[in-house]
Structure 1
Amino acid sequence: MTGTGFGAFVRRAHDAGKLVVQPRMGMSEPDRMRAGLRATRDARATTVGTITLDSYTRVGDLESAELALLEGVSLNGYPIVSHDLATTAGVVEGLYGAGFPIQVRHGSATPEAIFRALMTAGLDASEGGPVSYCLPYGRIPLSESMANWSRSCELFVRSREAGMDPHLETFGGCMLGQLCPPSMLVAISALEALFFHRHGVRSISASYAQQTNADQDAEAVAALRRLCAELLPGADWHVVVYAYMGVYPVSPQGAYRLLGRAAELAAGSGSERLIVKTVAESVRIPTIEENVGALEYAAEAAARTPVEPADSDSQTYAEAAALVDAVLNMAPDLGTALLLAFRRGYLDIPYCLHPDNGGRSRSYIDSEGRLRWADIGKLPLGGLVDTLGAPAITSGELLESLSYIRRKFDCETTV
């Protein structure tokens, strides 16, 4: 099976004026996984396929994944390491190709076995990152994740020997899903993209997750695009926007309204790809039909949206660039620099409980819905951010902030 060129497909679609839309879909049963891929391909939209892995495989508990398969127990994703090659080949046969790329999504800080499995199956696209798939999802040391991801990148680029063009997408623009000021999301996403680039990956996408204010989100995407242009010479890169990843609206109208805003953000900012969410996100894992409905709704919303990128010379860019520059000045090796940055508090994710995260920074949602810094801790933003008058965040206010988007979009539907 030859490589499909995930990044090249997205580039061609963008040049034709199409936003590529993609689900976050994974089923443990091969026939259901194949049905989901086929439905994604056949949706009335420009799509790429997704094989999202199960939580046992993500954390390397392959014994539990294999036991579930033996006992016929459904998992919350596709156990690509535990299924044999013939099974996975059968899932993608006749679907995967230059006209329908497929990305493997996983969430692992120990991804080497996953990369070996997807490469063996002839697949050429995945995602994650040494920071973004360590701090939110596990407790293994950041240094271990950095080493694991270094080896995985070096392994993945060897797929060029089989005629593939391996593609990696950062998850850094989605840290914790919510309540992280956009400048930090942009900085982590850009730094992970550079990490991939320095490890030989040449087809890269940089992520950004929709947050709490549309104008601030537009500034963030513009800032991310500017940083990628500055940091990734010679790479084929694009930006992927994620529909809001926090507490989702419970009403179908609110969910669709929020998804529509994500599509408008992606299309209006000139981004090339969008990861959708569905009307079922607040209550359960969505069906294949609900995923297709979200894909088609997002594609229609994007088609109505003119491209009007925000000015990249914004407060968000200034903060993100300061964070990136501070990290790059810490050590010549980017992995070492990232470890030092977290150790010294130059990178610090608000409300993240991982032992390698300083935990001194804090954020809040202001009266306009913008995410702002309440406390910058040791972040190198002293000349850029004024926290005087910022509120002290109580546990109750934090919980209320977590449901800000749900309340906003559900209430809008009742007005």
Structure 2
Amino acid sequence: MGDFGAFVRRAARAGRLVVQPRMGFGDPGRMREGLLATRGADATTVGTLTLDSFTRVRDLDAVETALREGIGLNGYPIVSYATDTTRAVLDGVHADDFPVQVRHGSAAPIDIFAALLRAGLSATEGGPVSYCLPYGRTPLDESMRNWERSTALFAQARAWGMRPHLETFGGCMLGQLCPPSVLVAVSVLEALFFHRLGIDDVSLSYAQQTSRAQDREAVFALRRLCAELLPDADWHVVIYAYMGVYPTTPEGCLALLGQAAELAVDTGSERLIVKTVAESRRIPTIAENVAALEHADRVARAARAALPHAAAPLHETYPDSQTYAEARALVDAVLNSHSDLGSALLLAFKRGYLDIPYCLHPDNAGRCRSYIGEDGWLRWADTGSLPIADIAGARTTRPVTSSDLLDALSYVRRGHDGPFLYGDHPTS
């Protein structure tokens, strides 16, 4: 019951984009209310149980204190609640026509995987790199071991009559200012990591960045690499609405979300994770989540109707591009480092073959720098030891200052709020 990947594939064949919230509440009744509202939205939806920050870092004592003293949590503590409690939240909601995914953000997810399986759920997300480097100081080799154990456990769900589905968060590293080739490469590598540990139904993420044209190129590169490297897996692509500093005006928020929906349709992506008009200020309400889902669905249906044909292009027609060439070189450098992919990923970060700009984790080399060009594209200021120097071209000699970085972080917000605050033109 609740086969996540199969539901998305059916929706794609019917020409519908699946839209999904990030919703998570600490109170079981409220969580159930949110799932019911998501299911009842006027859109093709899947449900989300987003976990709280204490559960993500395995601080279960803090969860127990919060539950005992009535302190609000910023997500659903699936490990601390009895299995029967979570099953009651899902009863009559989680089904083949409305599967539910657990979203968490943990570098040590074994307890989370065990709890969601006990509750009858078979879809979650993350990755040994993408849920380690941006979020704390857990050593990368420790995260790798944790994710190897967790993924192997998750693969056993088949013995219980479930089809496990794992989504890599790799295409969303830090959410912003990471050139797309690295996002594409990490997403593909984490999907291969899952697949080699027994998961044959995966999704690969890509987060909307600063340029619609560059995003389109990046998603086509991602789809081409999936077709080349995951031929015996079921896979789909999920777009994330922009994860950086969000617009403050309702108009700017809706415009940015609409562009994410258009990107998904234009690139043949099958699923979209939305953001709401409240993102820049607070945790959104259930009603705000539903409004975002329905807005994204309306834009997606209009975008699909405007296409010359409804089918996504075949991978053989995906063009060669700068992003594809860089991403392929990064993936090949990692795969050629070691026969075991976990070991290869560790070696890649030690040697600087993978390096996330502006990421302060001790296991990240931190030699790469990026900047936003005048055309809005994310470009390399310094490629460090990445094996793409010849492909990326000569490094710029311009330094990236702290003021440059702060300016880049607010680039998307300015571009989308500007027309409604100052009469400027929106970011293209």
TM-score category of the 2 structures, normalised to the smaller one? over 0.9
CA contact (8 A) 1:374 1:387 kept: no
2:281 counterpart residue number? 283
In the alignment, which of 133, 150, 153 is matched to residue 152 of structure 1? 150
CA contact (8 A) 2:367 2:385 kept: yes
CA contact (8 A) 2:206 2:239 kept: yes
Deviation (angstroms), 1:396? 0.9
In the alignment, which of 294, 297, 306 is matched to residue 295 of structure 2? 297
Deviation (angstroms), 1:209? 0.1
- 1:40-51 matches, cutoff 5 A: 40-51=38-49
Distance in 2 (CA, whole Å) between partners of 1:213 and 1:236 is 29
1:395 counterpart residue number? 402
1:134 counterpart residue number? 132
In the alignment, which of 378, 390, 394 is matched to residue 383 of structure 1? 390
CA contact (8 A) 1:373 1:387 kept: no
2:411 counterpart residue number? 404
1:83 counterpart residue number? 81
Letter in 1 for 2:296: A
2:52 counterpart residue number? 54
In the alignment, which of 200, 203, 207 is matched to residue 202 of structure 1? 200
Letter in 1 for 2:5: G
Deviation (angstroms), 1:391? 2.3
1:230 counterpart residue number? 228
CA contact (8 A) 1:43 1:292 kept: yes
Deviation (angstroms), 1:385? 1.1
1:323 counterpart residue number? 330
Distance in 1 (CA, whole Å) between partners of 2:319 and 2:276 is 30
2:254 counterpart residue number? 256
Q: 1:82 to 1:388 in 2, by over 3 A?
A: closer
Which segments of 5 or more consecutive residues in structure 2 lack a partner in the other structure? 424-428
Matched length: 413
Report Cα offsets for 1:156-188 as digits up to 9, x if no partner: 011111100000000000000000000000000
Kindly, what percent of the aligned residue pairs are identical? 66
1:247 counterpart residue number? 245
- 1:103-182 matches, cutoff 5 A: 103-182=101-180
Greater displacement, 85-94 / 381-390: 381-390
1:369 counterpart residue number? 376
Letter in 1 for 2:159: E
SS at match of 2:26: coil
Distance in 1 (CA, whole Å) between partners of 2:389 and 2:406 is 28
In the alignment, which of 315, 337, 341 is matched to residue 344 of structure 2? 337
Distance in 1 (CA, whole Å) between partners of 2:389 and 2:323 is 14
Deviation (angstroms), 1:390? 4.8
In the alignment, which of 304, 321, 330 is matched to residue 314 of structure 1? 321
Distance in 1 (CA, whole Å) between partners of 2:227 and 2:398 is 36
Deviation (angstroms), 1:233? 2.2
Greater displacement, 299-308 / 37-46: 299-308
2:426 counterpart residue number? none
CA contact (8 A) 1:219 1:311 kept: no
Distance in 2 (CA, whole Å) between partners of 1:271 and 1:52 is 22
Residue 61 of structure 2 corresponds to residue 72 of structure 1:
no
Distance in 2 (CA, whole Å) between partners of 1:91 and 1:387 is 55
2:213 counterpart residue number? 215
CA contact (8 A) 2:380 2:395 kept: no
Letter in 2 for 1:29: D
Q: 1:312 to 1:82 in 2, by over 3 A?
A: farther
